Amino acid sequence: MSQSPLFSRRSLLRSFSALPAAGLVGALPRLAHAAPEFSFKFGNNLPVTHPLNVRANEVAARIAKESNGRMEIKVFPNNQLGGDTDMLAQVRSGGLEIFNPGTMVIATLAPISAITAVGFAFSNYEQVWGAVDGKLGDAIRASFAKVGLYTFDKMWDNGFRQTTTSTKAIKTAADLEGLKIRVPVSPMGISMFKSLGASPTSLQFSEVYSALQTKVVDAQENPLAIVQTAKLYEVQKFCSVTNHSWDGYHLVVNGRAWKGLPDDLKTIVSRAFNEGGLQQREDLRKLNESLQADLAAKGMAFNTAAPDSFRAQLQKSGFYAEWKNKFGAEAWGLLEATAGKVS
């Protein structure tokens, strides 16, 4: 004969009452997990397969483990929480705790951030990391603090930006004349491509694929990892390796939420995100070594564009003089300390 539900529950309770206190404590976690004391949402615009999201999920798991479940990071990829400007507003208001704006996107709040995206400023990654891990990076992070955002010390990599089109290869600055190209929602992107003779349009990243598909724009510019993971090769034929600017991600945290964390959790979270960022940089470096061949196999036609004509056009149009004046001599000096003379 089967036992009644009531008898079963009573038997279960008697069994637990017979356990030593230590045995009971050890048995409870198997029945239910305590809710975390702190839960942060991390929103971004990247596909789940992008190296940033792969490492972000590892970071979240590490933080949960090292905090013994006291701290939870929930990762929301692929614009699930809105476009870049939406998430930037949310992280400021506290509706979202962590966001990874690109250098040009967050420049709407802290203009100095865009200095690392100046056209053709960096020639290689040694210069990039020397700048953003050094005094220039410190100045940028200090500017975020002034608008209520905490920033982790190590930026995560997005990569050098390349130019893709559906109409023609870009070999010199003259090939950009009149080209309808999507750029991020940022003054720097608009200024750079206007100075190069193109016709730039600012769009949220979530709108890029459809804008290219419907010919609202004929071109866009992004690192190769974005071209691949967002499948932009489906709506673009040509990829010109222009390396026209470097872009990375500042992982910013709502200031009030950060201050509300106990010091031990701040240490755990900071360490996990900073070390995860260094791993993500290496992931992207390895990925970039294979991306051109992979995208070529998917039908994209590649060419490498020499920087000379582009730099000359930016110089002639007054782009460098304008932005040196906007950033100020001190910030510009910090950039040139690692990148060499920019203008």
pLDDT digit string, tens, across residues 314-329 = 999 999 999 999 999 9
The residue written with tokens 């991020």 in the block is: 184
> Measured between alpha carbons, how far is residue 100 from residues 45, 96, 151, 284 in Å?
9, 11, 10, 16
- The answer to whether the Cα torsion of 179, 183, 186, 189 is positive or negative is negative
- The overall longest dimension of the chain from CA atoms, in Å, is 93
Tell me how crowded residue 12 is: count the other CB atoms within 10 A of its CB: 10
**Cα distance between residue 254 and residue 249, in whole Å:** 16
Specify the higher pLDDT residue, 259 or 188: 259
128, 122 contact by CB (below 8 A): yes
**Cα distance between residue 156 and residue 225, in whole Å:** 13
Please give the distance of CA 217 from its chain centroid, rounded to a whole number: 23
Mean pLDDT throughout 266-294? 96
pTM: 0.85
Q: Which residues contact 147 (CB under 8 A, 6 or more apart)?
A: 92, 109, 110
Band (pLDDT 50/70/90 cuts) for residue 33 is: low
Which amino acid makes up residue 252?
V
161, 232 contact by CB (below 8 A): no
- Least confident interval from 44-48, 68-72, 135-139, 179-183: 44-48
Residue 104, pLDDT score? 87
Residue 185, pLDDT score? 85
104, 89 contact by CB (below 8 A): no
Whether 312 has a pLDDT exceeding 70, the answer reads yes
Q: At what angle do helices 135-145 and 125-132 cross, to 10 degrees?
A: 50
| Closest to 108 measured CA to CA, from 204, 176, 211 | 204
87, 96 contact by CB (below 8 A): yes
Q: What percent of the chain has pLDDT over 90?
A: 84
Residue 239, pLDDT score? 98
Residue 257, pLDDT score? 98
Q: Which residues contact 242 (CB under 8 A, 6 or more apart)?
A: 161, 162, 163, 170, 221, 305, 307, 310
Band (pLDDT 50/70/90 cuts) for residue 186 is: confident
Tell me how crowded residue 94 is: count the other CB atoms within 10 A of its CB: 12
Angle at 239 between CA 233 and CA 241, to 5 degrees: 140
Q: What percent of the chain has pLDDT over 70?
A: 90
Domains of the chain with bracketed CATH = 34-339 (3.40.190.170)
**Cα distance between residue 203 and residue 190, in whole Å:** 11
Residue 231, pLDDT score? 96
- Burial class (CB within 10 angstroms; exposed 0-12, middle 13-18, buried 19+) of 172: middle
Q: Where are the beta strands (DSSP E) in 152-224?
A: 156-160, 162-165, 180-183, 199-202, 219-222
Whether 3 has a pLDDT exceeding 50, the answer reads no
Band (pLDDT 50/70/90 cuts) for residue 302 is: very high
Band (pLDDT 50/70/90 cuts) for residue 50 is: very high
Band (pLDDT 50/70/90 cuts) for residue 34 is: confident
Band (pLDDT 50/70/90 cuts) for residue 35 is: very high
| Structure token digits, residue 81 | 């929480």
